[in-house]
A = this chain, B = another copy of it.
């Protein structure tokens, strides 16, 4: 499957998308800006439908806590997350023209040419290895490879500069003083992590729970290309599922264990011959191929979501990250890759990020990002260090707030107590936060520590995070490619065979006579009230041409208002892919369409119920 060739007339497809304004380069009349695209009406409607389905499939079904955080982010947050230091690509410049390039892309392209020409087995292995690791090189390693393989600037053949890391975040300044640096978020995830404590509280303090966010993210790519697949501003839909790291079972795992996916595990990728395999998620978890049930659950749910969007199952696989491809803290990571005419494209990443993110923010803010979880084996008896308090001194120094700190110190958890004892042996005082108050705990407050046995039911732990992250633009583009076909009978025009729930417009109304305005208004009002999006094509073009236009933007159903409509109040209803038509009473239109759009009934049910209309010339 990984070697599958995607047969596809991309030129005709792109022409259709451009002519019917699915998308266009942003600010094109001003010369455009690479990597920025605007979605036109059909593109916007499809995107809105994909997001509505995502909300239904993930947020509502799984009872996730959706949040809406800002894009503008102050620098310290992105220092903690590692983005300020490490969210970079290596850039090289044409030393004469100053044009900028991504070093790894230039190297890869050059290596591809060399690979194609190379006969020697040993050298071939060396070239392929360099290509596979192109995006992992340090600046010095990259420079060595670029020199070794004599890579020069494209078009000009000028020498290249020494590679330099370029940070991909858009930088800005917050407020009027100019001394508060900020960035546009490169992902939406951080907005969830920094709100972890409020989210946990909203969930009654209980693990596991998931939070989700849909929003814009920004990456100032060095040299964007590949149309909608690599852009500087894009929509992400991300889930952060917080779990007890010692218990990654999922309560609903059984409900998806039988789902079969195309999986391409890590070890198989190292072999030249192996391709992805068909396996149930249940078996993949049982065999240890997928690290845990929760990860498996999200892989299966992602599979179901993408197929519901119109992605073809045979062009979808889940590829496991190689060990050196994953972040050092990740426990396991799988990408949903979709085959389109650009090749296998990463559209969803599903990573077990362990406790990395919460630990990072906790370290920076000195605030514990923890949850209390019960021990699996019930109550445990543990030895707790209990401080002997100098309550008199504390009362004098702290006044009214003394009792708050005293209560806190008398009731410490074992791990917190141990840490405090150790900290106070090294420092004169330690700051602790109780509720919203900060307290200075001075060494003199505590005259000694006694060890007591105490029955405890659980412990404060830093949750692990499982993160499914969806690139909506890439999914949208792939859905369009998978939906595209050309009828044998009409090679001039394409058809987009989109699922009805995803289609930008659900029904086109085609009056055959120009005087049918009042009839048409009555129908469209009723459609609008019921939230069914429609277009009216009363352009006077032939009915065939009007159907073709509607097929091009993937409208699944067409209604003609004809002579008979004026007499008996019936209309004809046509389905896009079969091009078959039935005749029904106008008042049956809305309920029939609603069921078709929600995929509660199939077109064949409609054909069985209503009389068929014979095709006209």
Contact = CB atoms under 8 A, between A and B. Distances in A.
A98 B232 contact: no
Contacts of A34: 175
A367 interface: yes
Given A91-B176, A172-B172, A177-B100, A194 B71 contact: no
Contact of A47 (B68, B166, B172): B68
A40 B202 contact: yes
Contact of A41 (B36, B202, B220): B202
A256 interface: no
Contacts of A100: 175-177
Contact of A176 (B166, B184, B218, B531): B166
Given A70-B36, A194-B30, A56 B176 contact: no
- A interface: dominant SS: mixed
A466 interface: no
Interface string A197-237: 11101101000000100001010101100000000110000
A397 interface: no
A72 interface: yes
A327 interface: no
A204 B21 CA distance: 12
A74 interface: yes
A216 B68 CA distance: 11
Contacts of A535: 63
A365 B30 contact: yes
Interface in A7-41: 20-21, 24, 26-30, 33-34, 36-41
A361 B68 contact: no
A232 B172 CA distance: 13
B176 A60 contact: no
A159 interface: no
Given A66-B48, A77-B30, A173-B171, A71 B198 contact: no
A148 to B, nearest CB: 24
Given A29-B365, A202-B20, A539-B204, A72 B38 contact: no
Interface in A529-544: 529, 531-536, 539
Contact of A21 (B20, B172, B202, B222): B202
A592 interface: no
7 contacts: A21-B201, A26-B194, A38-B67, A40-B195, A63-B536, A70-B233, A72-B218
Interface of A: 20-21, 24, 26-30, 33-34, 36-41, 43-45, 47-48, 55-56, 60-61, 63, 65-74, 76-77, 91, 98, 100, 166, 170-177, 180, 182, 184, 191, 194-195, 197-199, 201-202, 204, 211, 216, 218, 220, 222-223, 232-233, 361, 364-365, 367, 524, 528-529, 531-536, 539
Given A41-B66, A171-B172, 4 more contacts: A20-B202, A33-B182, A40-B65, A72-B232
